[in-house]
Chains A and B, each alone.
Chain A
Amino acid sequence: MIGYSHDLPPRGNYFNFNAYVRQDLRSGTLTNRVGAPLIGLTDEGYLAVVNTLRDEFAEDASTILKSLGTSWGRQAGEQFVRETSAYYGRPLMELPLAMVASLLTEAFRHHGWGAFIFDFSRYANGVLVVEVREPFEGSITKPECEALDTMLSAFLAGMLSYLAGRELGCLQTDARGRGADASRFVITTPDRLAGRQSGQDHSVVLQELCDHRLTT
């Protein structure tokens, strides 16, 4: 018998722009559909943060940026879980994985981070891959600088650690700012990323992580 799917309400994309972003011109504020404040971060604003950190803290700037990204990502993860769980009427972690992937994609797209693809196909190996076309960060920093999506990488680690309920690390393997067609990130437990450097060949990193998992 074909029946209605009682476990999932007939609700579409929570992040649908027309419904998600609200502008109050009297107060001059932007909020999302449940009233959480939003603010547009311009290229100049972001570059000012990065350049100031570099000027003031030299080699420690990258560490501070990562800490900022991780903290921001955790808070974004909490908000993501809270709002989507309320909208779809059940805890996020009880939604189908494909739906979670799609909601994450839409969340990043509608907040201006770029076009994301979350690949959970290596979930059994404890590895998640994220591909980002048009990442804002690596696209605006100068090539002679780090040209990596440092804050995004940390943001992903923080957000996905919150969603997974355990500490995760994030390694950037490809960077749009270094000429790759997309930025790519490999996310797994920090111990499995220890000793690896950003920019290592994406497919080799994946293969090694998956092989290692299967033999241990």
Chain B
Amino acid sequence: MGTLLQRLVIEADGRYFTPDERRQILEESERIRDRLAAAEHLERVEEPVLRAVIEEMQGRYPNFSRYHDQAWARHYRDMQLVLRAAASAMIVNDPADLDDRLLYWLRTMFAANNYTPEFVETCFARLRDIIRERLEGPSADQLMPYLDRAVRVLSDFPEPATAAV
């Protein structure tokens, strides 16, 4: 409950928490339980989800592996990083943490590799959608804002002069 607790502590400078603030902290502790459960659920389905996405993308982009060394294995790793960072950011309820922890860094790599925004958006949208299919309602609901953010941030870069997908 990093960000909420940090905010409340800063606001309560020089005084005790108010009843409303104490209630918010207790409610947040309950939500953490739910978010931890969602992260555990994600961990269980990670591998089959990633394999499903890769297989779909291989069908859509048959030339991708001609452009990059260990193309699909590395892309598998990149998606794995996104899922794990999304789970961490979700647990602490801090979407912005995802940007600095991973998304900006990964987006720079995608652009430098001459991936296209369309390729990245397609891939991470399918990752999000398959996660939504495989996870039960509450777990999927917890994760969706983070995976939506990943789709939006990761695909936000200019078209390359020469595409390599």
Residues on A with C-beta less than 8 A from B100 are 13, 16-18
| A98/B77 contact (C-beta < 8 A), A2-B72, A13-B105 known | no
CB atoms of A13 and B55 under 8 A apart: no
Q: Which among A7, A8, A12 has the highest number of chain B CB atoms within 10 Å? A: A12
Whether a CB of chain B sits under 8 angstroms from the CB of A180 is no
CA distance A7 to B51 in the complex (A): 19
For the residues of B in contact with A, the DSSP-based class is: helix
Tally of contacts, chain A with chain B, CB under 8 A? 77
* 0 or 1 for each of A2-22: is its CB under 8 Å from B? (1 = yes): 111111101111011111000
Q: What is the size category of the interface that chain B forms with chain A?
A: 20 to 34
CB atoms of A12 and B108 under 8 A apart: no
B14 to chain A, nearest CB (A): 19
Q: Which of B26-34, B78-86, B131-139, B145-153 contacts A (4 or more CB under 8 A)?
A: B78-86
Q: Which among B54, B76, B81, B104 has the highest number of chain A CB atoms within 10 Å? A: B104
Q: Name 10 A/B residue pairs within 8 A (Cβ), A-sorted.
A: A3-B76, A10-B84, A13-B100, A13-B101, A16-B101, A19-B101, A96-B109, A98-B113, A99-B109, A106-B108
| A residues adjacent to B (C-beta < 8 A) | 2-8, 10-13, 15-19, 96-99, 101-103, 105-106, 109, 118, 120-121
| B residues adjacent to A (C-beta < 8 A) | 50-51, 54-55, 69-70, 72-74, 76-77, 80-81, 84-85, 97, 100-102, 104-106, 108-110, 112-113, 161
